Structure 1
Amino acid sequence: MPRYALKIEYDGRPFCGWQRQSALPSVQAAVEEALRRLEPDVGTIAAAGRTDAGVHATGQVATVDLSRDWTPFRLSEALNYHLKPAPVAILAAARVPEDFHARFSAIERRYMFRLIVRRAPLTFEAGQIWQVRQALDLESMREGARHLLGRHDFTTFRSSICQADSPVRTLDRLEVTAHPRADGTEYRFDVRARSFLHNQVRSFVGTLERVGAGAWRPEDVKAALEARDRAACGPVSPPSGLYLTHVGYPQDPFAD
């Protein structure tokens, strides 16, 4: 059976997350239902990451086996037609080898977290960015973030219900940048690793926000990391600002 990779974009607000759950709307169910409009006997699709409720994606990747030999363009166009009106879009489709797997073939995942400092309530971007009111110190957040780079036991920064076998991960990048806007300042957290623990990125951002607000010192991040204790973590940021932006593979299946 031909195997296809799908690059998927979605607004996570209406969904319980990526993974299919009974009686709750999920991104996986929306894509699978669109696929079944094309091939009624299609099986379960596999994704590179199981994003939580309210988390968005601009570069999620999933793989699916189909019985027909679809051209990638026609497949993506047909799926986008059947996905309406759900806030899910197939950005690209590609025929891939039968041993390619969206999750297990991945060598890198990138997330971006958006945070805005502004006083007035959000209107157009409510649910798509985390809003705080107090000013944040960029350099303090950057200094705190440097303590998290590299290979560590990230027990402090993972959910208590995380099912990963080991809390040890290698964090390749955690860059914090400021982007002035007419209505305030947006901060973006660019995070990269081969894989992540449950709630790891949101735990990072919630903790670094406390550093930026002056409630924590940058060196307190190092102490929290070394504690290897979930109770030492700062508050977990809401899912509204988190985006899965890219999944890397040894060869990009969507490259022209």
Structure 2
Amino acid sequence: MVFWEGYVSDEVMGTFAPIVLYWIYAGFYQLLPPLDNYRLHSRREEDEKNVVSLSAVVKGVLLQQLVQATVALLLLTSKANPSGTTVQPSILVQAFQIIIAMFVMDTWQYFVHRYMHQNKFLYRHIHSQHHRLVVPYAIGALYNHPLEGLLLDTFGGAISYLVSGMTSRTAIMFFCFAIVKTVDDHCGLWLPGNIFHMFFQNNTAYHDIHHQLQGLKYNYSQPFFSIWDKILGTHMPYNLVKRADGGFTAKALKKD
């Protein structure tokens, strides 16, 4: 039994829990003190390079989440057991389903993301909106053009859910984990002890390289692994270099 059982369905929880968690986790980063010693870019760089206001970012994210919630609720309820009861598979089976979903989501997002960079029309009119945040920050993790949000995130999540065969209850865990990882990748901070930096090569600095001019056509992988970048030659490694103001900068290394 889980704490929400008897209050809301797994389908409703799977729809809205990732949204609530997004704002809690991103808000946590937003409310932290400046932490200049751990920033990948100085506050001055953030002010000078980003060409969209915080209020516009918040509105853009809310619009995308409205679309996501609509699709997720329709999808989850359509797959729900009419009896209202669902038998959860073993922990091992659920773990395997989550791994499959991670791979499917990574695969979908890599190729759609890469195509949006390679197609000049799509980049100029759609994907460039996300790159208005040259210096990423947590609340802007899902700041995209609405069509990109639908194609990249909403469809990617739906396909990973369907292919993995997970239940709505397992989907809650998977989508909450995915949203936390996505926010963390955009937080712009290299914090000591960050568990994502320990276990994932695709992390805050890795994605920061992609937002910089020299890495714009590299490091497309998101949100979990860097497998496709390495296989298809779009992986750009980096070094963390200490800045004069005490922070770090992710410096791209030359490709062979």
Give the TM-score normalised by structure 2: 0.26
Larger RCO (alpha carbons 8 Å, 6+ apart) = 2
> What TM-score do the two structures reach when normalised by structure 1?
0.26
When you count strand as a share of all residues, which structure comes out higher? 1
Q: Name the structure where helix makes up a greater proportion of residues.
A: 2
